[in-house]
Amino acid sequence: MRRLPMIRIGFYILLALFWQTGTIWAQESKSAKKSAGTKAKETKTSNTKPSRTPGFIQKLADESDTLGSKKPLINPDKLEGNRAYKAENYFFAIEHYKKALRVDKKDLQLPFLIAECYRLANEIKNADVWYARAIKAGVSNDSIHINYGTILRALERYPEAIEQYEAYLRYSSQDAYIKWLIESCRLAQTWLDRPARYTVENIVRFNTKNSEFGITPMKYNAVLLSSTRTDAMGTKLYGRLGEDFSDLFESYVDGQNKWSKLRPVPGMINTLGNDATPCLTSEGNTLYFTRCSAKNGSCRIFKTTRSGAGWAEPVLVPIMADTVDVGHPAVTVNEDKMYFVASNAEGGFGGKDIWFMNRSEDDTWEEPINLGPTVNTERDEMFPYIHVSDTVLFFASDGHPGMGGLDIFRSIGGGSDWEQAENMRNPINSGADDFGITVNEKITSGFLASSRVGGRGSDDIYIWNFIPYRVTLSGKVYDDTTGKVIPRAQVRLVLEDSSYFETITDSMGQYYFKLREDVYYRLEAFVSRDNIPYHLHAAPRQRLLYYGTDSTFNTYQTKDDTDWSIDLPMRLAPTEEIRLSDIMYDYDKAFLRPISVVALDSLVNFLSKSPNISIAIHSHTDSRGSDPYNQALSQRRAQSVVDYLISKGISVQRLIAQGHGESRLINRCRDKVQCSEEEHQLNRRTTFSITAIDLDRVIVKYKRVTGEETEDAEEAVYEAISEKKKLRRPSHQASR
């Protein structure tokens, strides 16, 4: 006899939650729960609710109990199929229905019955074949159209699903739920045509023919997950289905960077009942999970802590009344809040809702609060996952517009105030059931569970990753005066963490970088003296020196592929000496006067804004006095300026003190030449010159740019320093 696979949707309810009908959860009733779950999911309507299966199927099943009576008998294999259908042993029923069809090929009910069995056993591909055969044979009723539409939706054949739903509307033209399904199909088709930026890949190492779901990351490259694989410790739920109760398993990344074989979690967690949907706290030493009793099917949340290599005896977390099933815990980083699922609880919106509760100061849980209508619907919301920020909630639902079955949604907010849920679209979602998502801190990767086509079993574990946007930066470096491009310029892209990327412009002055999302950048360019082309300026090459240039920008709020373009103009720096006005000394002294300190602050400002510029301080005297004396005096005066700049935080490595004495007179007032005091004053001066512009000296730990901080450094030298201005009238207080 063929071994029967797990009926997936019912299993959600079995493993963690809650029969809407309140039926006792015993081993023989696992498939019956599947039917109840499927009924709630596929046929709930606001007014007219089509039955899950045609009434005549149940009638036929009832007739199978009349053997030996005076009623006429039908095909024996069909009778056996009806008995198996009634017991929800769908694959056994399929075998007998097929045998009956070989005997009576004109029985139009049989292809439909076979299709129904495949659908209820979650064999959607086979169900598709038999529904199509039944319709081709002329079968038409309300159930075939709505149920075949559900199968086509799961297969992501949305136009065909719409045709079936519209055919159903001939039986109930005002059915609001069916109209909602039609609109959902149209929306899903647009998502299928334009997938979101994700990749989804089956983790074959984790998955079996049974169900794997409810995965949560652990520390140090490890995971916990739920599974009904054959080595689970529970007894069989239903012998002909061959499925165990779910247990918790763990896997680690081994020395070869591969996931180890799943093994049952050590300690006192797994029982003969269902143990599933684990949730670890941030430090990894406290575990919350769902446990459903093997005796009465009630589901509660339990908590346990690490004990040696395993886990201690779990304790019950008291939530709501004992008559309400709860499960699927999701705890915030500091355990001050827990999100969970409750079935048909008072104050909810219907079906399964997501609730939360705060932890009080005395370490007890406060009264649960419903998350509200932007998250919960009259149908089912399950598998909550809260981001570390406690402001982004992920969950599964079949009550919001989706692609089919359970879809994964996210909402922004907190507490009971959440924005309208947003579908995460294809390929995170498919036409089948998608649920149990986890996310990393940046929401760029994680796990999810899905029953989508192409998996290994009923539910499989998948890994998903966000596909980064293509963000590039290009531009040219050019001379700001002539407009000519500058080849071999050094361009550096600096990140906030002080790391950087570097390139050299090509012969056309062009550069190129690939960027990352959500980063603040600083772009800088520098041209060494040796790389300045001769043809750029008529001035002697040895006198050319370019200021470094920079630009700041960020890639936050990137919503699409983006190509940035930033051109960097380079301005020639003056290599001649620039006079500093109002630098005064007492006669024959090297100490700066207070007025000189004020004047030097403009130079401090310039150097602070231009951290890659090095300068030399030059001090000059007039011709009066001996050459050696004037040389020594000028050196002391130059050093006093350097000392002041150092006291203001300018690195000594950027400063040179050079005294020139009377060696660089700028007028005729040499020794033995009669000159006025004003003429001698012109020679008594303090100047500076730029000696180097070095990109490697840039301070890369920069602040995010504000309006005040965006002033161009190269402008500062012209605005803050009296460069190339008319000479002021000499002060009679100045010394020689």
DSSP string, 456-525: SSSSEEEEEEE----EEEEEEEEETTT--B-TT-EEEEEETTS-EEEEE--TTSEEEEEE-SS-EEEEEE
Res 47: pLDDT: 38
pLDDT at 726 over 80: no
Res 544: pLDDT: 56
Q: Rounded mean pLDDT of 557-575?
A: 83
| Structure confidence by residue, pLDDT tens digits, 487-545 | 998 898 988 887 889 999 999 999 999 998 888 898 888 887 777 766 665 454 444 56
Q: Minimal CA–CA distance to 612: which of 579, 644, 650, 576?
A: 650
The CA-atom distances, in angstroms, between 414 and each of 326, 371, 372, 392, 411 are 21, 9, 11, 8, 9
| CA pair distance 44, 42, nearest whole angstrom | 6
pLDDT at 668 over 60: yes
Give the pLDDT band (50/70/90) at residue 691: confident
Q: Minimal CA–CA distance to 367: which of 394, 384, 346?
A: 346
What percentage of the chain reaches a pLDDT higher than 70? 80
User: In which residue ranges of the chain is CATH 2.60.40.1120 found?
Assistant: 471-570
Kindly state the DSSP code that residue 727 receives in the 8-state scheme. P
Partner residues linked to 661 by β-bridges: 620
Res 235: pLDDT: 58
Q: What is the largest CA-CA distance in the chain?
A: 149
Quick check: pTM over 0.85? no
State the fold for domain 199-466.
Answer: Tachylectin-2; Chain A (2.115.10)
Q: Rounded mean pLDDT of 192-208?
A: 95
pLDDT at 572 over 80: no
| CA pair distance 275, 218, nearest whole angstrom | 18
Torsion region of 232: left, alpha or beta (phi above 0 gives left; psi -120 to 50 gives alpha): beta
pLDDT at 92 over 70: yes
| CA pair distance 128, 94, nearest whole angstrom | 14
> Which segment, 55-69, 268-282, 683-697, is predicted with the most confidence on average?
268-282
Indicate the class that CATH gives domain 8-195.
mainly alpha
Res 243: pLDDT: 58
| Structure confidence by residue, pLDDT tens digits, 447-493 | 999 999 899 888 999 999 999 889 999 999 998 878 889 899 889 89
| CA pair distance 715, 724, nearest whole angstrom | 13
User: In which residue ranges of the chain is CATH 3.30.1330.60 found?
Assistant: 578-698+708-719
Indicate the class that CATH gives domain 471-570.
mainly beta
pLDDT at 548 over 80: no
User: In which residue ranges of the chain is CATH 2.115.10.20 found?
Assistant: 199-466
Q: Minimal CA–CA distance to 280: which of 386, 358, 399, 186?
A: 386
User: In which residue ranges of the chain is CATH 1.25.40.10 found?
Assistant: 8-195
Res 701: pLDDT: 31
Q: Rounded mean pLDDT of 347-362?
A: 93
Give the pLDDT band (50/70/90) at residue 409: very high
Domain 578-698+708-719 has CATH 3.30.565.10: no
Q: Rounded mean pLDDT of 345-359?
A: 94
Q: Rounded mean pLDDT of 584-606?
A: 81
Report whether 650 contacts 732 (CB < 8 A): no
Q: Return the minimum-mean-pLDDT range out of 43-47, 363-367, 654-658, 685-689.
A: 43-47
What's the mean pLDDT when you consider all of the chain?
A: 81
| Structure confidence by residue, pLDDT tens digits, 150-184 | 999 999 999 999 999 999 998 888 899 999 999 99
Res 237: pLDDT: 52
